[in-house]
A and B are shown apart, each in its own frame.
Chain A
Amino acid sequence: MARTAANALARRRWSRLRAHRTLTAWGFLLGPLLLFGVIFLFPAFRVVHLSTLQSQLFRPEAFVGFGNYQRLFEDPLFWKSLRITAIWSIGVVPAVIAIALPLALVLNTQWLKAKGLWRLVFFLPVVTNIVAAAFVWRWLFDPQFGVVNYGLGLLGLPRPAWLAVPGWALAAMMIVAVWKQVGQAMVLFLAGLQTIPKEFEEAAAIDGANPWQMFRHVTLPLLNPTIVFVAAILLINAFRVFTIPFVMSAGGLTHRTVGGPLDSTRLYVLHLYDWTFSRFDFGYGAATAVVLLVVVVTLTLVQTKLLSRPFEY
């Protein structure tokens, strides 16, 4: 009798303790979770819902099913913006890696002097306000007074009109995107290099490997996960980029010609922005946003899949 009573008491105390713990947990979680629901969950579901509605200025809201998607896929400008984003990715992603990876390798050596200075120089754009920087670059690329063309002139090279002409405008903006992102990739590569055990390189050195062989057969395979990670971040960034093309295209001066000249710099989010906030077609904009979501989720899952492959040391 006494034992069961004691047991019951202990059990009751234990369950009260558990209740108290749960209450405490919710005390910490409830506020942030409510905000998370309002700011993350609700918009993510609402945008899918909105994409099935006709939601335009001065028109009643109505269900249209896949109507917005149909309009989107029949819109040549949507395909053009995807093409431009693809060109942007193909240019910017390899360029950033091709500069940042050797940079990190060099910064990781023993013999390089003034490492802090080099790191500072290449990292500075990462903490630089990109709107302000885009304005500066706009002037650097000025066909007449710009420093870029002045420099090209000194080297005896042709001096394009950069932002004023289709083709060159996108190239100019891609240069700015590379400039802005090299430092971030460099830091990530450096962090990746530091996880490689020194023994591997020492063993390779004893076997008489030259620096190239060392890089090709030791460092590069071990750095593979970092390269995939950096490439994925850069690729996703390419689909989300807005500020550089907005400020540097004519859209920076009049919202009506966003992505100019002649839509040659109409990157994906500019297309979304144009339909949503210049033409106030929220349903169409939402469909564009959902397609963006699908692209980004796919890229993320592919990256996760690649990285979860078993790794052999």
Chain B
Amino acid sequence: MVSGRLTRLTARTLVYGLLIVFGIVMVVPFLWMFSASFKPLAEVIRVPPTWIPENVTLTNYQVVWIEFRFFRYFANSVIVAMVTVLFVLTTSSMAGYALAKFDFGGKDVIFILILSSLMVPFQTRLIPLYQLTTGLGLADTLAGVIFPWIVDAFGIYLMRQFIMSIPSDLIEAARIDGAGELRIFLQIVIPLVRPALSALAILTLVVNWEEFLWPLVITSSDASRTLPVGLQSFAEQYAANTHWQMAGASIAILPLIVVFLIFQRHFIRGIAMTGLK
């Protein structure tokens, strides 16, 4: 019995030890980035590294934000993310409602098309989308950056599944009471699927905030660059200025982490619910 307790104690100590080692590996990049973003270049490249900056300075942020126009990238990223989330929530819940609660010809075909399009990776659609967006004159505009994301097949599928679980009697009762169709949708259906909507919003936000390939090919000036491509184009020109890069990286990483810390529960539930594409 005693030896059993002892092995259990050793096992648990081992588990904590491994958690600490792996945990440190997970957070080292964050620690190093934040620390470097407050240091002058000479201190950034010092070996051994200093974790707490000896000469704390805010100049890196100042330089990057104003001189290298990160305020522009930041604003673009926020606009793109907000408009995309708004569009995805609207189009997904509308189409999901129609597919879940109405009977009409062609419904099954449409649903199968949407379902099978979930298998088609974005990279496969990339070239035609690029030609299409350029053809529409939307290259290097914010509208062009947003365009391929305003409807999401997965979002439609998710909302359909959730709206299916709403009892149809509820909707019928409202109809008998004389409620208009739009009112039924907005005041009965939407409030009942709020958890699914917040999961979809979070998922869209996470994926959209770090989207890189699309803005990389469709933007060519600061007017439409989002943070990821802004960071990239900045690094192409100032490769050796690690201290500035780390301030820029912090600006790109921090907002979503703050949002995450506030809505942690929703985030984790959302990812578990949807599997994150």
Contacts and interface: CB of A to CB of B under 8 A. Distances in A.
Contacts of A125: 26
Q: Interface majority SS on A: helix, strand, loop or mixed?
A: helix
B131 interface: yes
B121 A236 contact: yes
A145 B128 contact: no
Nearest to A237: B277
Given A38-B132, A132-B248, A289-B123, A187 B272 contact: yes
A24 interface: yes
A32 B119 contact: no
Interface in B114-131: 114, 117, 119-131
B127 A282 contact: yes
Interface centre among B123, B231, B236, B260 (most CB of A within 10 A): B123
Given A36-B156, A43-B129, A140 B29 contact: yes
A46 interface: yes
Interface stretch (A114-122, A198-206, A305-313): A114-122
Top 10 closest pairs, chain A to chain B, by CB: A25-B102, A43-B125, A43-B128, A132-B249, A32-B95, A131-B228, A29-B98, A191-B272, A46-B128, A35-B151
B276 A136 contact: no
B90 to A, nearest CB: 8
Interface stretch (B60-68, B137-145, B192-200, B206-214): B206-214
Contacts of B91: 31-32, 35
Nearest to A243: B212
Contacts, number: 255
Interface of B: 12, 15, 19, 22-23, 25-30, 32-33, 36, 44-49, 91-92, 94-95, 97-99, 102-105, 107, 110, 113-114, 117, 119-132, 147-148, 150-151, 153, 156, 181, 185, 206, 209-210, 212-213, 216-217, 227-229, 231-232, 235-236, 239, 242, 245-246, 248-250, 252-253, 256-257, 260, 264, 267-268, 271-272, 275-276
Interface stretch (A4-12, A75-83, A217-225, A268-276): A268-276
A33 B127 contact: no
A91 B32 CA distance: 26
Interface string A294-311: 001100100000000000
Nearest to A127: B260
A162 interface: no
Contact of B98 (A25, A124, A229, A292): A25
A44 B117 contact: yes
Contacts of B29: 133, 136-137, 140, 179
A135 B245 contact: yes
A122 to B, nearest CB: 6
A122 B30 CA distance: 12
Nearest to A298: B119
Interface string A22-53: 10111111011101101111111011001000
B96 to A, nearest CB: 9
Given A44-B117, A126-B271, 10 more contacts: A25-B103, A31-B91, A123-B267, A137-B29, A145-B45, A187-B271, A285-B127, A289-B125, A293-B124, A297-B120
Contact of A188 (B27, B32, B48, B275): B275
Given A136-B29, A140-B28, A145-B45, A44 B123 contact: no
A118 B151 contact: no
A77 B181 CA distance: 57
A253 interface: yes
